[in-house]
Amino acid sequence: MKKWISLLAVLTLMVGVTACGSDKPDDLPASENASATKSFTLIASAGAASRSEIAFSLSDFAAISEYVKYVSNVIIQTTSYVEVSGITTSQTVELQNVTLSLKSDSKKKIVLPVIDSNEKFMELTQLTFLQEIMNEIYRRGSSTVVLTYTSTHNLTSPVTLAIKLDGRFTFN
């Protein structure tokens, strides 16, 4: 009789432990690519220093929305970039001291060259900074990016500075 009670207790314990197992979805991929893009609209008076902020969060990456709580790492992809657009031939634009930094740690930043035409930045320096944004998104769930610049001319038509983050997310 004691054997039956012991066996029944062990089986009950096994069923209880199995029922409390992982809540991971059955279709959880090992990794997946996802993208998010945010942009600043630049309008400024000549000589005026300007400052703007945008925030990225894990929820901005729609392709991984159902797996957000299982993210274990993220690596920036070489298709990521910082792009300036909207500069036309009818408008004189010269942006100086263009800096992107993390609000949480202003030492993590990039300084872009003088901008006077539409341009896409996707070199190692920019990708390293974009990885810092992704690291913060992974650790904290979000990252706020600060843009500062000085325009030497009045910006009468909006100029856009966009940040595109392409990441390879791994899950566990």
Contact 137, 74 (CB under 8 A): yes
Distance, CA of 75 to CA of 117 (rounded, Å): 30
**Among 6-10, 31-35, 158-162, the least confident range:** 6-10
What was the pLDDT predicted at 4? 60
pLDDT digits (tens, 9 = 90+) for 16-67: 545 555 678 888 999 999 999 999 999 889 999 999 999 999 999 999 999 9
Half-sphere exposure for 77 (CA within 13 Å, toward CB) = 12
Regarding predicted confidence, which is higher, 17 or 88?
A: 88
Amino acid at 19: A
Total-model pTM:
0.84
Can you tell me the mean pLDDT for 87-99?
A: 94
Q: What is the DSSP string of the chain?
A: -HHHHHHHHHHHHHHHHHHT-----TT--SEEEEEEEEEEEE---TT-EEEEEEEEEGGG-GGGGGGGGGEEEEEE-TT-EEEEE---TTS---EEEEEEEETTEEEEEEEPPPB-S-EEE-SHHHHHHHHHHHHHHHHHSEEEEEEEEEESS---S-EEEEEEEEEEEEE-
**Confidence check: pLDDT of 8 > 80:** no
The pair of structure tokens assigned to 121 is 């930045």
Contact 24, 68 (CB under 8 A): no
The domain 25-171 having CATH identifier 2.60.120: the answer here is yes
Q: How many residues does the chain have?
A: 172
Contact 159, 86 (CB under 8 A): yes
**Among 22-26, 121-125, 136-140, 157-161, the least confident range:** 22-26
Confidence band, pLDDT 50/70/90 cuts, at residue 156: confident
Confidence band, pLDDT 50/70/90 cuts, at residue 1: low
What was the pLDDT predicted at 26? 87
**Confidence check: pLDDT of 9 > 80:** no
What was the pLDDT predicted at 11? 56
pLDDT digits (tens, 9 = 90+) for 131-151: 999 999 999 999 999 999 999
First vs last Cα of the chain: how many Å apart?
44
User: CA dihedral in degrees (102, 150, 81, 107; nearest 10)?
Assistant: -30
Percentage of the chain modeled with pLDDT above 90:
79
